[in-house]
Amino acid sequence: MHVTLRQLQVFEAVARHLSYTRAAEELHLTQPAVSIQVRLLEQSIELPLFEQIGKKVFLTEAGEELQHYSRAVAEQLAAAEAVIDELKGLHRGRLKITVATTANYFVPNLLAAFTHRYQGVNIVLDVTNRSGLLQQLEFNETDIVIMGRPPDGHELEFAPFRDNPLVIVAPPDHPLARRKRVPLSKLHDQTFLVREPGSGTRIAMERFFAERGVEVKTGMEVGSNEAIKQSVQAGLGLGLLSRDTLAMELQLKQLKILGVEGFPIMRRWYLVHRRGKRLSSIARAFKEFLLIETPRQKTGSNG
């Protein structure tokens, strides 16, 4: 059996996404190029790896077995890359950071300060939602993740490094915007614009109101913070957002933070990586930079 690393890499991406299109996007290849690599691999092992039923792609029994080994190979290659970066030292090498969409409002400033100190480092920044973050952690596709509190039971090591206050925003001309203190009872007849299910902000919002026995109406489900801010400005409802996302709108007086009882919801931003992951020297330096040198840091880690 003659199998190339490239074929395994392509196969692993298709198997993980169960989609040739999404695998092609991730690998920056055309879909026909992905199909060719998979077909060559199937010819080499003389067994089909995928079957298509309708528009859905499924792994065959052989595909499920090979997926296990392809993941192991990918993890070994990532470990080898970390060793090579270690040998290069702190001023060379590659660091992949994946951040939650909300965190991307402040992370670029942190990266600017970090790369000013380590100017030879090649940083790859990926911005995705919570489910995407957890998938990258599960498959060891990134060095470090910045997100809200990660869930338990995922074999993760994490540490808080920055406050993440969640606030309720309204248009400046909203009736509640004129009040210094807004009781929770005043929110019963208000419509909230919400993020997609599984969003950390939405989870925090639903938990907060459920613990206090407050029922609120939800209007549109909106897929980004920017869309929520624009929809709130248009008068379509109230929004619950991280204060980190609001600097420009508050300065321009396009939105107003409501003084709602019990708010802000105080959360934290976390630095996260897989438990037991061998971090390169530059990844360790970035971790130390976040935990020790960023404002309002806290030491210690949890797992």
Domain residue ranges in the chain: 5-73, 80-162+268-293, 164-267
pLDDT band at 126 (very low <50, low <70, confident <90, very high): very high
CA gyration radius, the chain? 23
pLDDT on residue 53: 87
The pTM of the full predicted model, rounded to 2 decimals, is: 0.67
Superfamily in which the 80-162+268-293 domain is placed by CATH: Periplasmic binding protein-like II (3.40.190.10)
Query: b/e per residue, 53-87, with b = 16+ CB within 10 A?
Result: eeeebebeeebeebbeebbeebeeebeeebeebbe
What tokens appear for 223 in the block?
Answer: 């897929």
Confidence tier at 138 by pLDDT (50, 70, 90): confident
Q: Is the pLDDT of residue 154 over 80?
A: no
Q: pLDDT digit string (tens) for 99-123?
A: 998 899 999 999 999 998 888 788 9
Cβ pair 150, 158 in contact under 8 A? yes
The answer as to CATH 3.90.550.10 being correct for domain 164-267 is no
Give burial (CB, 10 Å; 0-12/13-18/19+) of 292: exposed
pLDDT in tens, 228-265: 999 999 999 999 999 999 999 999 999 999 999 999 99
156-205: pLDDT as tens digits: 999 999 999 999 999 999 999 999 999 999 998 899 998 888 788 888 89
pLDDT of residue 72: 85
Nearest-CA neighbor of 147 among 211, 220, 95, 203?
Answer: 203
CATH 1.10.10.10 assigned to 5-73: yes
Cα 253 to Cα 179: distance, rounded to the nearest angstrom:
16
Same fold, 80-162+268-293 and 164-267: yes
Q: Which residue has the higher pLDDT, 299 or 197?
A: 197
Please write the tens of the pLDDT for every residue from 38-92. 999 999 999 999 998 888 899 999 999 999 888 888 878 877 776 776 666 555 6
- With beta carbons less than 8 A apart as the criterion, state whether 229 and 193 touch: no
d(CA 184, CA 180): 13
